[in-house]
Amino acid sequence: MAQGIPDELLTNSDLIKELAEEAKDSALTRGVLMRLQETPNSSEVVSFAPFTLFPTPVPKAVFLQALAVQTHYNTLVDKISQDADFLQEALTSTIAVDDFTARLFKIHQQILKEGRSQSIVLGLNRSDYMLDQRENGTSSLKQIEINTIAASFGGLSSHTPGLHRHILEMASRLEESQRILDNNPAAGLAKAIAKVWELYGSEKAVIMFLVEEIQRNVFDQRYIEYELLKRNIHSIRRRFDDVFKTGSLDQDKRLFVDGKEVAVVYFRNGYMPQNYASEQSWDARLLMERSRAVKCPDISTHLAGTKKVQQVLARPGVLERFFPDQPQVVEQIRATFAGLYTLDMGPEGDQTVAMALAAPERFVLKPQREGGGNNIYGSELCQVLEQVKDSTERTAYILMDKIHPTPVRNYLVRQDSPLKISNCLSELGVFGAYIRYGKDMVMNECAGHLLRTKSSEHSDGGVAAGVAVLDNPLLF
């Protein structure tokens, strides 16, 4: 394990077994928790959230690069959300074939027509990266995606540094334990929500966490709620159905749910088609978007995070539209782009199809979906492209270069899962928090980081999907 845990420790089976048991207790005492799959809406019986036994080595230069570019990504997302013409141009082909994106876009158009009811904008996002490591020895940071809605694990990742420090100390690896950074995204995200609550200006108003029907990852969100409570700001947790049944706007478009005025709607739901179980869910989304409550994200910021927008941004000259006099910012952002290719109808899209079918192992096919587990690889990529290559259905996808990180050996600690050494791949997420009030950016910060790791046998999927586990970077 380069720059990390030596092989003699990784192969010491008695010590590994002892450390794993110790680690589970440590995770539980530190609140690194998830509800059980069998009882996802009950906290009667819970378990530890899955994690790596040891932290994963990450080059310090790459880590600092990801942190440094985050405020620029915050600005970029915000500028895109304000550029209705750009969103229209970027998403025209997608909304013609992708019903979900089309429904979101329809709400966006209605809000533009009516005029926005709130000039305060809150963005809490997470930009995800992998390290592209080539045979010639070069390695570079490449963005997988940016999540502008329901970016998770800011809560739990605030409690994992202590877990890994403890394990390294138990394994007599004191020097490594001191290389694990403090990390508190929960506090960083809550700080931005609290600032927006103050700007909204009603002491009785609450923060509404809009949550899913199934809430296994409740503790991740609770940590943000409790950070808000330290500031005497109260939160409620409601589903789409609750908003539909008890939500209303007064004559000033203030949003009331269950009789409580809502200052901020923090979406931890609403990013996948299945989140909208009925027309009532869509009606509830529109009601919230039309209201004076600050939406995190508002509908145009949600659309700014689509895969199609990501692909369009990689075209020559597009970043310059948003940073006309800042070539260094453009350079910093562009350095993190992987190869992205359009599948729109026409010669350029035809070329993309031919390139992907000729060498499918080089690429990943991405639909306009969040939540992990949606990407298409290898033989399945060929099957899907063969089916849609001559129809407009192909424009529901984008094509991206496959990133090649070097696997690292580690143990993935899961409930009821045998402990075995795995070849692992990691993904680094960086949390961003920004607030715009009218035309003024009043906050723009990097709010912390998240490292997730999975066995290299899995192509895709996050922690909530049961594939990846929580981790920490061991900087070198």
149 closest CA partner among 318, 295, 361: 295
**Residue entry with tokens 């092989």:** 7
Distance from C-alpha of 245 to C-alpha of 243, rounded to nearest angstrom: 5
Q: Which one is catalytic: 142, 247, 370, 472? A: 370
Interaxial angle between packed helices 279-290 and 99-114, expressed in degrees from 0 to 180 and rounded to the nearest 10: 30
Asked about 195 being catalytic, the answer comes back as no
Beta strands per DSSP E along 173-293: 206-210, 235-238, 247-249, 255-257, 260-267
User: What value, to the nearest 5°, has the Cα angle with vertex 287 and ends 285 and 288?
Assistant: 65
Contacts of 234 (CB under 8 A, 6+ apart): 206, 207, 228
162 is catalytic: no
Domain with CATH 3.30.1490.50 in the chain: 342-402
Burial group, residue 160, by CB count within 10 angstroms (0-12, 13-18, 19+) = buried
**Residue 370 annotated among the catalytic residues of the structure:** yes
Q: Is 232 left (phi over 0), alpha (psi -120 to 50) or beta?
A: left
DSSP letter at 376? B
Bond before 367 cis per omega within 30 degrees: no
Q: What is the largest CA-CA distance in the chain?
A: 69
Active site residue 371: yes
- CA contacts within 13 A on the Cβ side of 117: 25
Quick: pLDDT tens for 121-162. Answer: 999 999 999 999 887 878 899 999 999 999 999 999 999 999
Within 311-439, strands assigned E span 340-341, 363-367, 397-401, 408-413, 421-437
Which is catalytic among the residues 165, 191, 394, 452? 452
Residues of the chain falling short of pLDDT 50? 1-2
Can you tell me the distance from the alpha carbon of 287 to that of 234, in angstroms, rounded to the nearest whole number?
22
Q: Is 285 known to be catalytic?
A: no
Catalytic residue list contains 176? no
Give me the catalytic one of 81, 127, 147, 235: 147
Fold of 342-402: Dna Ligase; domain 1 (3.30.1490)
User: In 10 A of CB 249, how many CB atoms?
Assistant: 16
User: Residue 1: its pLDDT value, please?
Assistant: 41
Global confidence as pTM: 0.96
User: Phi and psi for 118 in degrees, rounded to 5?
Assistant: -135, 130
Binding region = 126, 145, 147, 149-152, 215-217, 221, 268-271, 307, 366-375, 377, 400-403, 427, 452, 454, 460, 463-464
Burial (0-12, 13-18, 19+ Cβ within 10 Å), 259: exposed
User: C-alpha 45: how far from its chain's center?
Assistant: 27
